[in-house]
Amino acid sequence: MKYDIIVLGSGIAGISIGAELSKELSVCILEKEKIPSYHSTGRSFAFYIETYGNELVRKLTTASKDFFLEYSKTESDSKILNKRGVTHLAQNNQINKLKDNYKDLKKINNDLNILNKKQTLDLLPCLNDEHLNSSIYDCNASDIDVNLLYSVYSKIFKSNNGELITDINIDKISYSNKCWSLDTDKDQYTGSIIVNAGGAWSDEIGTIFNAQKIHLVPKKRTVFCFKPDNNIPLSNEWPVAVDVDEKFYFKCENETILASPADETPSPPIDVQPDEIDIAIGADRISTATKFKFNNIFNKWAGLRNFVSDKSPVIGFDNKVKNFFWLAGQGGYGIQTAPSLSIISANMILNKSNKFYVEECGINIDLLDVKRFN
Ligand SMILES: Cc1cc2nc3c(=O)[nH]c(=O)nc-3n(C[C@H](O)[C@H](O)[C@H](O)COP(=O)(O)OP(=O)(O)OC[C@H]3O[C@@H](n4cnc5c(N)ncnc54)[C@H](O)[C@@H]3O)c2cc1C
């Protein structure tokens, strides 16, 4: 089977760049699992926060918004982004941190307010007022319908004759006549360019192709779900609550609280599972910060957020190996940045200009480029 592009990995990175490139080239996505987006993409908190991550990540997030809004219009009644807001909560001993964060966030995110204790409690009456001091409120933060986003990209990909092949094991790789050949347990796939969208496995994939290393560190993050036992009225309208030091966060969905201890435990690239200790830590922090009482955790999962040292994504052609393109290191922001990252990456592959992203969105592409690991 011969293609222009072979993408490795069918998470949001693989499907988004696959969709963008399929508009002009023949593209095949190869996925090692039986189910697409089985790893990080299927395990996220599904949230869009323009005030999250470093400055570059925040610009990439904002630059992705138009895509989310545009495709929401064409998809029946559903919207990809559904506004609910986020509050960055400070307790009495976290006021300096709140002020520092506000100063930093204000540099590029204007639509922010500091709320006093009463205003914060009006938005989130479930909080424990004993510990709360104030919060930063970002009214633009939204739930992301990840399934809808994935299906938008899948539709674009399929309508352009893109092929997604799951349950693939690569046995042998060779490169000759400007073409990669991948011998797999199913077939031989050849392509001019390989895109490494392997999530937590990106460095391992790089090694197989003899590419450079980006020293990616997968970090485990846990999510658990509970229904409070003490009849606290719950609301889907509540903003997400995030501790200003990111020691926990939670949101309410259909009478259920989805919560995280915001753990960041380094892990090898594996099918990671939640640890009881992380859930206990998260439950303790959330019990202290709120009025919730709960004993029964009825659902839990963990996934990997993959970071390089500067916590910015990594895109671009490898330094060592020809026609090997990286799309990795999206950390905890890979869903909310997928539209801008995939278009910028596709433009690099297609030799097209990224002027809009540089000049209008203020994105310094050198800070994303894999060449920074030279
Ligand atoms: C708990 C949690 C909460 C998060 N919350 C958010 C959030 O609210 N908002 C947000 O924007 N982001 C969030 N993230 C981050 C986001 O989920 C990731 O950044 C994003 O999913 C990364 O996508 P990916 O396609 O790079 O990786 P993945 O979805 O992991 O996809 C990589 C794929 O590559 C495949 N693969 C690996 N090796 C090979 C190979 N050799 N051959 C073929 N295929 C291979 C894997 O099987 C996998 O399917 C969260 C992550 C976690 C874990």
Q: What is the pLDDT of residues 65-102, one digit of tens each?
A: 999 998 876 556 689 999 999 999 999 999 999 999 99
Q: Which residues contact 166 (CB under 8 A, 6 or more apart)?
A: 10, 31, 33, 34, 35, 36
Helical pair 12-22 and 338-349, crossing angle rounded to 10 deg = 50
Q: Whose CA is nearest to atom 3 of ligand 1?
A: 44
Question: How far is ligand 1, taken at its centre, from the CA of residue 270, in Å?
Answer: 12
Question: How far is ligand 1, taken at its centre, from the CA of residue 12, in Å?
Answer: 7
Question: How far is ligand 1, taken at its centre, from the CA of residue 113, in Å?
Answer: 32
Question: How far is ligand 1, taken at its centre, from the CA of residue 110, in Å?
Answer: 30
| pLDDT for res 109 | 79
Q: What is the pLDDT of residues 338-351, one digit of tens each?
A: 999 999 999 999 99
Distance CA 258, CA 268 (A): 25
| pLDDT for res 76 | 61
Question: How far is ligand 1, taken at its centre, from the CA of residue 200, in Å?
Answer: 7
> Which atom number of ligand 1 is nearest to the Cα of residue 303?
53
| pLDDT for res 75 | 54
For residues 305 and 332, is the Cβ–Cβ distance under 8 A? yes
> How many other CB atoms sit within 10 Å of the CB of residue 331?
21
Query: Sign of torsion, CA 100 102 107 108?
Result: positive
Question: How far is ligand 1, taken at its centre, from the CA of residue 264, in Å?
Answer: 15
For residues 101 and 244, is the Cβ–Cβ distance under 8 A? yes
Distance CA 194, CA 3 (A): 10
For 164-176, letters b (16+ CB in 10 Å) and e give bbeebebeeeeee
> Which atom number of ligand 1 is nearest to the Cα of residue 200?
30
| pLDDT for res 131 | 84
| pLDDT for res 110 | 81
Range list of β-strands (E), 229-370: 240-243, 249-253, 256-260, 265-266, 297-307, 314-317, 324-328
Q: Whose CA is nearest to atom 4 of ligand 1?
A: 44
Q: How many CA atoms lie within 13 A of 133 on its CB side?
A: 14
> Which atom number of ligand 1 is nearest to the Cα of residue 301?
1
What's the angle, vertex CA 195, arms to CA 194 and CA 200, rounded to 5?
125
Range list of β-strands (E), the chain: 2-8, 27-30, 47-48, 81-83, 86-91, 112-116, 132-138, 142-144, 163-165, 170-176, 179-184, 188-196, 217-226, 240-243, 249-253, 256-260, 265-266, 297-307, 314-317, 324-328
Task: Name the stretches of the chain with pLDDT < 50.
Answer: none
Question: How far is ligand 1, taken at its centre, from the CA of residue 252, in Å?
Answer: 23
The structure tokens listed for 225 are 């779900």
| pLDDT for res 271 | 98
Q: Which residues pair with 188 in a beta bridge?
A: 183
Tell me if residue 285 falls in helix, strand or coil. helix
| pLDDT for res 277 | 98
What's the angle, vertex CA 133, arms to CA 132 and CA 134, rounded to 5?
110
> Which atom number of ligand 1 is nearest to the Cα of residue 336?
11
State the pTM of this model.
0.97
CA distances from 176 to 192, 193, 233, 309 (A): 10, 12, 64, 34
Question: How far is ligand 1, taken at its centre, from the CA of residue 303, in Å?
Answer: 8
Question: How far is ligand 1, taken at its centre, from the CA of residue 39, in Å?
Answer: 5
Distance CA 114, CA 75 (A): 35
Which one of 34, 38, 40, 43 would you pick to mutate in the ligand 1 pocket, going by the greatest count of ligand atoms within 8 A of its CB? 40
* Ligand 1: lining residues by beta carbon, under 6 Å: 8-14, 30-33, 37-41, 43-47, 168, 170, 197-201, 205, 221, 223, 303-305, 330, 332-336
CA distances from 96 to 81, 93, 245 (A): 32, 8, 11
| pLDDT for res 87 | 97
Quickly list DSSP for 9-69: --SHHHHHHHHHHHTTS-EEEE-SSSSTT-SGGGGS--EE-TTSSSHHHHHHHHHHHHHHH
Q: Whose CA is nearest to atom 35 of ligand 1?
A: 9
- Domains (ranges, CATH) in the chain? 2-45+146-214+310-373 (3.50.50.60), 86-139+217-307 (3.30.9.10)
